Amino acid sequence: MNISQQEWLEKVQEDSNAVILDVRTEDEWNRGIIPGAINIDIYKGQGFIYAVEELDKTKNYYVYCAAGARSGQACNIMQQLGFETTYNLIGGISQWNGPVVSPE
């Protein structure tokens, strides 16, 4: 499901079952992330699928990329793999007004 920046931020803060998933490349990841995110690069193809399959399908996934296209694709793939709840951040981190931190 595609949701706005505001709705995404509100949902993720209220959701005790939330996982924030960044599907950008490692270089993009190193430029700054939404706090608490984990990174699985969608460009890794089958590697992305293997990594996603390791995740807990009972969690709610808040997915973002740079502009919203890759994360939308990731949400579609995840739903095909049996994930029930995925939220795509419209506009991605490039339009994000919330906090951004350096990955640790």
- Residue positions annotated with a catalytic role: 65
Alpha-carbon span 70 to 2, nearest angstrom: 12
Contacts of 7 (CB under 8 A, 6+ apart): none
Q: Which residues make beta-bridge pairs with 87?
A: 62
